[in-house]
Structure 1
Amino acid sequence: MIGVDRAVAEFDRALSAVDGRAATSLVRELLDAGEDPLAVLVDVIAAGQRTVGERWQRGEWSIAKEHAATAVAVSATEVVARFAERTPVTRGRVVVACAEREWHALPALIISSAMRLHGWDTTLLGASTSPARLSQCLHDVGPDATAVSCSVLGALPTTRRFIEASTTAGIPVVVGGSAFGSDPTRALALGATAWAPNAQGAVALLDELPAVVRRAAPLPREPLAEQSAIELGHHRLVEVLRGRWSPAARAAPDDPLARKLFSAACGEVLHQALHAVSATLLTGDPRPIPETAAWIDRLLTARGADPRLAAELGDVLASTLRDFPTAHGLVVRHWADGLVLQGETAS
């Protein structure tokens, strides 16, 4: 019997080779051998997918290879999902959704499969589900709970709309994903009923949820007003940042393809910087700002950029947001906390 520990390395090789047949065959072998399907989901597939993201961040893989490997992981998860359909429904029904702007559908598929394995009847909505579509589904299905997956900070505003839609109907909502960080702070600030750190946690929470919940309380008015204005002007602000920041002048790879990929990474960085500010305004948790600054620093330096670029972006971001006093102050106070330049904390 191959065992989960050995399977981790084999699954990683399948992802690296973008070999869907090897990945799905490995998962079938594990399930046929009687391995815990939840362990296969979490310890093999989800762990492998995290490694995929880390390789892109370190500049070892292109975004194209990351997407191809993710498709392999999705195919492997679907094997477990089909296996889970054999489990009799002994509990209630859960609607599992990805917030609008959340295109990472794999975590939701893993969560849905984990719940199905434990006897829940699940309705899985696709990537980037609109709040209107979720509301209609809740009306049609009448679930006992809603589960929302959110991996990117830019999807937290629509996650809030999901929470409003679910709690307005009296339905408890469990949220999870890397956009919420490592504790319940952001989830509870957005009005979620509960936060789950992983698939096992989400499954365990379902039995503890109240049957009916109150509508989520309104968010604080002034930060919400700034967040809404920044969200509305997002693309304009990105262009302002692009014109003021100097990554091309300071670090342009000699190879034309590398230069193109570096430029694309810089564009993604600008979006993420604004999303971090928006997430902080929305939740009152300042950690997305230094966490994103650190992510940007690692992303750029892994691609050979001048290590001062991330610090410069913080200055440019603060200057660009001067018309938003709360956001401006947050960037000034917290951006540098996430930076480590040449082994020294940025000041």
Structure 2
Amino acid sequence: MTATSRPGREGESARHRVGARLASPDRDERAVEWTDKLWTAVRAADEYSAVDVIHNCLEAGLTAETVLLDVIGAVQHKVGAEWAANRMSVADEHAATAINDRVIAALPMPRPATPRGTLTVACVDKEWHALPARLLAETLRLRGWQVSYLGAQVPTAHLVSQIHRSGATAVCLSAALPTRLPLAHAAITAVQAVGTPVMVGGLAFGTDGRRAHRLGADAWAPEARTAADRLAAGPLTGPRPPHQAVDDLPHLADQEYTMVTRSARSLVRETLHRLEQRFPTMRDYDDEQRERTAEDLAHIVDFLAAALYVDDADIFTGFLAWTADVLTARGVPARSLLPGLDLLTEQLHDFPRARGLLGTARAELAAHC
């Protein structure tokens, strides 16, 4: 494991993954030129020009929904991709995201005479990537819904209280990082317990709805337009009564997820210690390099735990493949990940599912190194 120059926070390291589906697959081709113009303004950190671009889009005949999803969403995707490719700094990425958030506010939002209904849109607890959820909330408003948008990191208890106050007929939950799936599961269950159906979306849930189904969500959508279309088609099927619910996660009986989660800190600490023993050059790392290496290991353990929770190897192998690309873009060889995986495998000798995930990920990573 080699210290990297990438940001340590898990949210930063996953930023370009978050943007991957902000742009709709049904994108209006007229939006391409305006996307380029907005990108120029965003890259220059010129908020005034960015707002001008949005107004000009509307004057050119693009609908507010097209601007929202096919221009702003597309630019945010590019922001993430440029960061991952090491062509934007963290500060530049933050500035760009802030400008995109600002230009969303510049879009006109007509008040519907008779709202279709009341919805709540929120990010699950600990999920601070709020822009995808906001894009959905604004899309739903444009389509005539009364929307309570709660933003990032909404504790489940507060979410349930808000539903009681607002009388929402459905809740749309967003999660970008798979490490949030256990918290998403808790939120889904709690909201359904008060009789409100839940639609979920975001990259944490994958590309086919399989994870959403496994966690018991009432509906899943890959992006904002699809979600809005599904809600417009009719009410979501109500949640199953608790006594009729099926245990969708029987694999958790083996306690591997619980044990790995509880021992995460000690796993990271021991792995770092063993790395220093086996690779003496690490002893010369400065404090920042040690901190970055420890953060990399912590992310690996967190994604391993998430894969164990959902019993989905793609969560872990996908994260490592993406991490390898990020490291390569920063001049760090992807093979630097392999020793850490080996040392985690040694420590998890009594955990067959965890060892299987580590083995699969190691084989796939080694094949591409």
TM tier, shorter chain? 0.7 to 0.9
2:338 is aligned with 1:308: no
Closer, same or farther: CA 109–319 of 1 in aligned 2, 3 Å: same
Residues matched between the structures, number: 333
Closer, same or farther: CA 128–37 of 1 in aligned 2, 3 Å: same
Equivalents in 1 of 2:351, 2:146: separation in Å? 45
Q: 1:76 aligns with which of 99, 103, 107?
A: 103
Preserved CA contact (<8 Å) 2:127 2:175: yes
Equivalents in 2 of 1:175, 1:329: separation in Å? 29
Equivalents in 1 of 2:239, 2:41: separation in Å? 44
Equivalents in 1 of 2:147, 2:234: separation in Å? 17
Closer, same or farther: CA 50–335 of 1 in aligned 2, 3 Å: farther
**What SS class does the counterpart of residue 123 from structure 1 fall into?**
strand
Deviation at 1:74, TM superposition (A): 0.9
**What SS class does the counterpart of residue 313 from structure 2 fall into?**
coil
Deviation at 1:241, TM superposition (A): 3.4
The superposition leaves residues 183-214 of structure 1 with CA deviations (integer Å, 9 ceiling, x where unpaired) of 11111111111111111011011134435221
Preserved CA contact (<8 Å) 1:156 1:179: yes
Runs of 5+ consecutive residues of structure 1 not aligned to the other structure: none
1:236 maps to: 266
2:64 maps to: 37
Deviation at 1:329, TM superposition (A): 2.1
Equivalents in 1 of 2:109, 2:281: separation in Å? 53
Equivalents in 2 of 1:113, 1:265: separation in Å? 37
Equivalents in 1 of 2:60, 2:83: separation in Å? 33
Closer, same or farther: CA 169–329 of 1 in aligned 2, 3 Å: same
Runs of 5+ consecutive residues of structure 2 not aligned to the other structure: 1-28
The residue correspondences of 1:210-289 to structure 2 (distance < 5 A) are 210-214=236-240, 215=242, 217-223=246-252, 225-245=255-275, 249=281, 260=288, 266-289=293-316
**What SS class does the counterpart of residue 84 from structure 1 fall into?**
coil
The superposition leaves residues 107-142 of structure 1 with CA deviations (integer Å, 9 ceiling, x where unpaired) of 111010011111111101121111111111122222
**What SS class does the counterpart of residue 146 from structure 1 fall into?**
strand
Code of the residue aligned with 1:24 in structure 2: it is: V
Closer, same or farther: CA 141–221 of 1 in aligned 2, 3 Å: same
Which one has more relative contact order, counting CA pairs under 8 Å at least 6 apart?
2
Closer, same or farther: CA 265–94 of 1 in aligned 2, 3 Å: farther
Percent sequence identity over aligned pairs:
32
Deviation at 1:331, TM superposition (A): 1.6
Q: 1:141 aligns with which of 144, 159, 166?
A: 166
TM-score, structure 1 as length reference: 0.87
Closer, same or farther: CA 90–248 of 1 in aligned 2, 3 Å: farther
Equivalents in 2 of 1:288, 1:274: separation in Å? 12
Closer, same or farther: CA 288–335 of 1 in aligned 2, 3 Å: farther
Equivalents in 1 of 2:193, 2:358: separation in Å? 34
CA-based RMSD of the aligned residues comes to 2.6
